[in-house]
Structure 1
Amino acid sequence: MTKQLPASATRLTRRQVCARRLHVHALTQPAKDAEPAEIVAATAGTHAQVMSAAELGIALRIEGATRVDIRNALWNDHSLIKAFGPRGTVHLLPAAELGTWTGALSAVAPSVSPFPESVRMSPDQIEVVVDAIGTALLDAELTVDELTDAVADLAGSWAADPVMPAFQTYWPRWRQVQHLAGHRGTLCFGPNTGRNVTYTNPRRWLPSFRPAAAEEAVPRLLRSYLRAYGPSTPQRFAHWLNAPVSWARSVFETADGELCRVDVEGSPAWLPAGELDVPDEAPSGVRLLPYFDGYAYRVGNQPPEHLCPGRAADRVLGGNFQVLLVDGVVGGLWHQRRSGRQIAVTVEPVVDLTAAQREDLDLQVRRVGEVLQGNPTLTIGRVTVGGHG
């Protein structure tokens, strides 16, 4: 149950903020009859650098779902699109919101290129390459090597010059705008061909797709972010998007009439106007968040000292770990290792678990096995693997 706070009641405790976020993220209890795209929308995108982690993170939030449901949403009905999202990282995004995402992300002030002048492209060259990418992918799913050849044919051989230092080799020049092409809506991910990643144009699956105008898209994305991670601030919004803080402040100022300022134990923060719902219950329960899910929960969330108290900060903040949530804050980390259908789960709590929390953990491990379609076993002990890159 949730209750709507009156407009005058603008003070929230951190426990209320935590309870609200668990509820919005379907972590209080899994959603019944929800579609994967609805869960991804509620969390303002799902980090998908590791697809198995994205599948697990979404399916754990839906009662009875497995990784097959997420794959069907992505590759069969295309209600999810794998694309470059916030911070230029790989995300699953709701197809119905792709216009908002591309319109907003392409409006973010660009960062300074890290490449020397000899590697960079002029503004005109950037436009030529982005157009070439969209044209090459409009009727195809291409590997990066195939796309390099196609871009060189359409834009000119200079676009394929191997000038970008990357992983002890050199990438072709055009790849420095790969993320930009994604943000412009001319490139998204196709299904893998064996071990090879493929790219395509989202219009192949969404013929009516067009990026929304920035003046409409940016406020909508801000509202989506605040719904998922609020109450929040311009500084944290900028961090989440990897955008300049000055730009984020201007976005908040422009959207001022659509936002509500609240006080979180002495710190000002903002929520979407009219969305001051707060659960009646205190944050509770044990949850396992996979790789990048816990990272996203941190990046968009309240300050680290409140989300990762005590020993949790020492164990978790140094890397991208799979985290154990206890009553809405980080209470440990975990790891799974698969061999055939056997899934060995190791959980390292950094807080003492009550008997009820230990039972809750057993249920979570069982659900991990159901989602990943394997047979899980649980060991309580130290996680010895490092964080994921």
Structure 2
Amino acid sequence: MKYVVVLGDGMADYPMPQLNNKTPLQCAKKPNIDFLAKHGETGMVKTIPDGIPPGSDAANLSVMGYNPKLYYTGRSPLEAISMQIELSESDVAFRCNLVTLSDEPSYSDKVMIDYSSDEISTEESAQLIEAVNHHLKTKDIVFYPGISYRHCMIWTNGPEGLNLTPPHDILERKITRYLPEGEYGRLLLDMMVESSAFLKDHAVNRDRIKRGLRPANSIWLWGEGKKPAIPEFHEKYGIKGSVISAVDLIKGIGLCAGLESVDVEGATGNIHTNFAGKAHAALKELESGRDFVYVHIEAPDECGHRYEIENKVKAIELIDEQVVKPLMDGMEKYDDYRILVLPDHPTPLSLRTHTPEPVPFILYQKSLKKPSAIIEGYDEFEAKKSGIFIEEGHTLMDKLIKG
């Protein structure tokens, strides 16, 4: 038996007036995913436990079979592990975004224009993080470059529980109410304010402005946590597998779980990612002897945050055409396989951030293919009609692997 998860990050949504009061999943032309829904088991699953923020960290932990209430320690340590940063027990990792803030003189009066600085290139951002390290590094605090706008700060003996705000949650809002508070929060805020002073005139940003691009004119710190202790996937389920993602967070969860992390050339984490390359890489992993592959596609989530309505529909269609169809065709040679398709959480276009509602899932098995109660296809409302509801999201993986 072969097992594949296709995780369309943030695919679930609310009806939109611009889409004739339909959701992107309802509007998207996705014949392959709809086929799975019509011949498999479709329902709703709650991936975010009550009391836990609806982030991709907790949601993907849940989908991968790990109860966030037991294993969630924060987003950034998972990303740090993916970046091959050695974390000690006393280290606290923070996500460090390079963001675009408006140009008001007072930092607290600025507006969050873009949490990704126009999806700044990795080459440019590496130079900016080098400057951040030069100005802000101490014996206890070090900054590490990542991919595009996503970077990491490690604080030895640093604080936890600071209630920091993700920048993608406050797009186009004045940042006054969302700045770090308290004794340790003040230290973080001082670093953010200081970064805005030297980043705005950096050569990289001057060049970006000349090219009509948004400058990465501040760091934004959030998502702190310590290294988690996650049981290995092989020990839990008795099979070996791989994770395929362009996002350090998902790679980090996979690595913590003992999965192989596979890089795909051209995988970006946005609408321009190498969709087909991810499907090809997944099939290659299965052919090499792996029994399980977790294929994560970030594009729908990014489109939700950026209010790109047409692109979110397009991203779902590309997942159907360039990921799901090749996977189904490529796995047909195996005696049997199961494929699980779902989002990790909703990222409603109207809100531009994550929400904790249950999401629709499809569980299809080749040998059990039969007409289901799903008539229209795969979307939030058809899945709810099935009456199938999984209260604890981390048990869905048990259903996939154990049947």
Report 1 or 2 for greater relative contact order, CA contacts < 8 Å, sequence distance ≥ 6. Answer: 2
Specify if TM > 0.5.
no
TM-score range, shorter chain: 0.3 to 0.5
